[in-house]
Amino acid sequence: MLPVEGLLSQICTGESTNKYDLVQQSLYRLDKIDPDNPQMLTTRLRLALH
């Protein structure tokens, strides 16, 4: 599994289990690897609305 795919999977897991610390950590790492990833940007928007 590629690092980006693994981080996106962690984000989905964190959101579905309401573990937002996991989501934040995964977003931070994903931002370092692929800052223009559209899924990361939509996740940030969902967190801001939450």
The pTM assigned to this predicted structure is 0.84
Alpha-carbon distances of 40 from 18, 33, 44, rounded to whole Å: 17, 11, 6
Read off the pLDDT of residues 5-49 as tens digits, 9 standing for 90 and up.
999 999 999 999 999 999 999 999 999 999 999 998 999 999 899
Q: How far is CA 19 from the centre of its chain?
A: 11
